[in-house]
């Protein structure tokens, strides 16, 4: 049963920085859409879980505000709500799914659902912690990009970055590309953590899914590259221990962090994954082919551009290495195909000056 709440009273004691309070005061759709989500999800949550979500995780009724915590929880909710909307025989919120794991807090995935078709999906969600300091306007056009995978030598790393920089800046004249540290260890940690929460033995109709909620299209491209290039986590020469995440069948990258942070300047609903950008990557270290029906069902129930991106060709000169082109495919597709050619904006709204 939905727990009745007096938000006007709750927001009296809530930090002015909380996005839900700001939306409530401004009477915008962000808060209204959240309430719709909450009404649905609370039917499958205990009153204790609902209170914990609102007053601890989302920090309502608090005069302090932790931005990183808020957006990590908000992006988790986007994932949980999407899974909840699948045709379901049952839905469990934060329940242990491994037989060899006790009920210790932190060892359960975000949720598990069984669809009417008999498919079971165990779902975990992660989002990187951010530097929340405001970026000076003089640096707003800067994009920090890591190398594609791990280079064998320092010189190779420098050459690789310079090629990446030239290609990215040629796609978008409004950005300045600068180097940043490779964060592939973060993704490794997400995979390890999910692997500890997911069942190690599953049948053909059960799939373990890790969602990673990210910011810009360049960051999504970067994280996909962490999986697929130069000792990437989904390659045979992975720099990590494959045994620790071979039970993660699928990784879904979303831009829900971007859409949450910029909810007043996007098309569609910030809480609804199908209004945003999603990209699916299957783990070759699992025997995922035997789960083809379950994976196809899942893929068909979340908007994604995997097929279009697979067929897309990055504009480039003939001498540009194919590996480099492949490492730019997603970011180029979004900017040059979706936005410029098709007028589809899944990140920011189209600027009025471009209309």
CB 177, CB 216: distance < 8 Å: no
Entry pTM: 0.88
Q: What is the mean pLDDT of residues 244-248?
A: 96
pLDDT of 13 over the 80 cut:
yes
Angle of helix 67-84 relative to helix 29-41, nearest 10 degrees, comes to 60
Average pLDDT over the chain, rounded to an integer = 89
What is the DSSP track for 40-65? HHGGGS-HHHHHIIIIIIS-TT-S--
- Pick from 157-171, 186-200, 264-278, 297-311: least confident: 157-171
How far apart CA 172 and CA 45 sit, in angstroms, is 45
Q: What is the mean pLDDT of residues 101-114?
A: 80
List, in order, residues 6 or more apart from 31 with CB less than 8 Å away: 20, 23, 24
- Residue whose pair of structure tokens reads 């209170």 in the numeric block: 51
Closest CA to 304 of 332, 338, 270, 335: 338
Angle 348-353-354 (CA atoms, 0-180°, nearest 5)? 70
pLDDT number for residue 120: 96
How far apart CA 44 and CA 202 sit, in angstroms, is 24
CB 145, CB 168: distance < 8 Å: yes
Kindly report, residue by residue over 18-31, the tens digit of the pLDDT: 999 999 999 999 99
Angle 216-260-278 (CA atoms, 0-180°, nearest 5)? 55
With H, G, I as helix, E, B as strand and everything else as coil, classify residue 192: helix
Kindly report, residue by residue over 203-230, the tens digit of the pLDDT: 999 999 999 999 999 999 999 999 998 8
Kindly report, residue by residue over 60-93, the tens digit of the pLDDT: 999 999 999 999 999 999 999 999 999 888 999 9
| 306 or 173, which is more confident | 306
């Amino acid at each position: 049963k939905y727990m009745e709440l007096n938000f006007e009273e709750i927001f009296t004691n809530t930090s002015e920085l909380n996005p839900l309070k700001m939306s409530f005061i401004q009477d915008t759709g962000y808060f209204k859409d959240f309430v719709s989500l909450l009404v649905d999800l609370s039917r499958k949550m205990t009153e204790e879980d609902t209170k914990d979500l609102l007053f601890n995780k989302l920090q309502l009724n608090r005069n302090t505000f932790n931005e990183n915590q808020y957006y990590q929880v908000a992006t988790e909710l986007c994932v949980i709500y999407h899974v909840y909307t699948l045709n379901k025989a049952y839905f469990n919120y934060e329940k242990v799914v491994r037989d060899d794991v006790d009920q210790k807090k932190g060892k359960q995935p975000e949720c598990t659902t069984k669809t009417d078709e008999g498919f079971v999906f165990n779902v975990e969600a992660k989002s990187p912690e951010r530097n929340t300091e405001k970026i000076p306007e003089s640096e707003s056009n800067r994009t920090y990009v890591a190398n594609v995978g791990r280079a064998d030598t320092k010189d190779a790393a420098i050459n690789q970055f310079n090629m990446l920089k030239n290609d990215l800046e040629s796609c978008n004249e409004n950005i300045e590309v600068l180097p940043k540290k490779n964060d592939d260890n973060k993704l490794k940690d997400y995979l390890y953590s999910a692997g500890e929460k997911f069942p190690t033995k599953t049948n053909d109709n059960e799939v373990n899914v890790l969602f990673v909620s990210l910011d810009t299209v360049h960051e999504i491209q970067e994280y996909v590259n962490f999986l697929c290039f130069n000792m990437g986590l989904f390659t045979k020469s992975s720099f990590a221990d494959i045994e620790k995440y071979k039970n993660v069948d699928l990784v879904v990258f979303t831009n829900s962090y971007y859409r949450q942070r910029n909810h007043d300047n996007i098309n569609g609903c910030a809480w609804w994954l199908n209004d945003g950008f999603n990209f699916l990557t299957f783990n070759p270290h699992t025997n995922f082919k035997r789960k083809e029906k379950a994976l196809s069902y899942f893929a068909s129930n979340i908007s994604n551009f995997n097929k279009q991106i697979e067929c897309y060709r990055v504009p480039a000169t003939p001498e540009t290495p194919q590996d480099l082109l492949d490492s730019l495919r997603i970011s180029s597709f979004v900017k040059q195909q979706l936005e410029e050619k098709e007028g589809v904006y899944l990140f920011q709204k189209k600027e009025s000056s471009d209309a």
